[in-house]
Amino acid sequence: MRAAHAEWTKLRTLPSTGWLLLLAVAGTVGLGLAITASLDYAHCDRPCTLDTPELSLAGVRLGQLGVLVLGVLATTAEYSTRTIRPTLLTVPRRFPVVLGKLGVLAVLGSAAGVLAVAGSLAAGRAVLPGNGFTTAHGFPPLSLADDATRRAALGTVLYLGLVTLLGAGLGLLLRDTAGALTASLALLYGAPVVALFVSDPYWQHRIHRYAPMDAGLVIQSTRNLAAEHIGPWAGLGVLAAYAGAAVVAGAIVFQLRDAR
């Protein structure tokens, strides 16, 4: 608990923490609002099968950058500023240091996710009926009372928490801000780009099925799940495996190497 309190003190006193969390929330809500505001039921094919909860939450593809950068900076900044030595002098046992960092980051990332999801669903609920997506047309107002929407909302919160931990794990592993950010962005955004240049449907399917962002965001789908490359919770499990591998590898390396 002392280690977690120390990590919280560090993060809350850094101006970048607030700005990055604001980016996560504002980016998610803003892009989701832009997408839902551009929809028009009159221009939708019949029958209209648009997944309005998924589209309302689609801004997470932008908002995740905030928590990703936060996770990386929280674990690499101490090496660039040489403050890792005082940290380890204060808490000589390294496991509590890692646990404190990850615990605080997971809470911050998930808290940003709660605000981002709440804002995105509220924006979608306000905008979509005016664009023709009404109960009469088969699109009830977005509500957490709906099981599929509730699963999409909870899954998005967990998704952002896992992305935060992915960035933190790679930061621990690489100790370099630029390197960890490059690796994180490549993992999340690289696979969809690669899939665009792959013509074989089998390999396209495999790439989307095991890419952390593509698989993880299937949790947002509420319609036509049979067409997805992987199930919602299984897809979130793929992202959890990436984040878990990064965290475990980072923790092991942090435990074994010196503080330079």
Mean pLDDT for the chain?
91
% of the chain beyond a pLDDT of 90: 68
Tell me which residue of 166, 161, 57, 66 sits closest to 116, measured CA to CA.
Answer: 57
> Amino acid identity, residue 136?
A
Q: How far is CA 246 from CA 37, 131, 241, 254, in A?
A: 37, 43, 8, 12
The two tokens of residue 204 are 């396209």
Summarised one tens digit per residue, pLDDT across range 212-248 is: 999 999 999 998 888 899 999 999 999 999 999 999 9
pLDDT digits (tens, 9 = 90+) for 160-180: 999 999 999 999 999 899 999
Can you give the residue ranges of every domain in the chain?
2-256
pLDDT over threshold 70, residue 91: no
Report the run of H or E that residue 124 belongs to, with start and end.
helix 94-127
pLDDT at 226: 84
Asked if the model's pLDDT at residue 19 lies above 90, the reply is: yes
* Nearest CA among 189, 153, 221 for reference residue 68: 189
- Enter the pTM of the model: 0.92
Residues 6 or more apart in contact with residue 148 via CB below 8 angstroms:
53, 222, 223
Rg of the chain, C-alpha, whole Å: 20
Longest dimension (CA), the chain: 66
- With a CB cutoff of 8 Å and minimum separation 6, the contacts of 54 are 152, 220, 221, 222, 223
